[in-house]
Structure 1
């Protein structure tokens, strides 16, 4: 069991640890009440709408060739 955990930690890409630290930092920072502008509040939903639109196939094929997804290149 310990060998598995060590192997998992050793073979995990560095970007995963960077993302973990960033998310931990954002989570701790989110505990403090703050005022957020409407632009910042709408940024993530707008991004997901745009990515969903790309995924739906409504844009020209040349745009799709440059969109990377988790499971590989999207054509």
Structure 2
């Protein structure tokens, strides 16, 4: 199966931050990832994410990877 461009992975970082009353800046400071890189992820422009980054984000937000990401359905 060829790699899709653009991908259909959707990041729900904005929703998780809002639910926890946390800012992107606070998350950046807690996990040690730049605000710019978290913004790229939050706005669905990331092409890759390190497992260490995912682990840190999930730990800080007390969530699972499945809470952070979903795969959008294929448009018909």
For the pair shown, the structure with the greater C-alpha radius of gyration is 1
* Fold in common (TM above 0.5): no
**TM-score w.r.t. length of structure 1:** 0.24
**TM-score w.r.t. length of structure 2:** 0.24
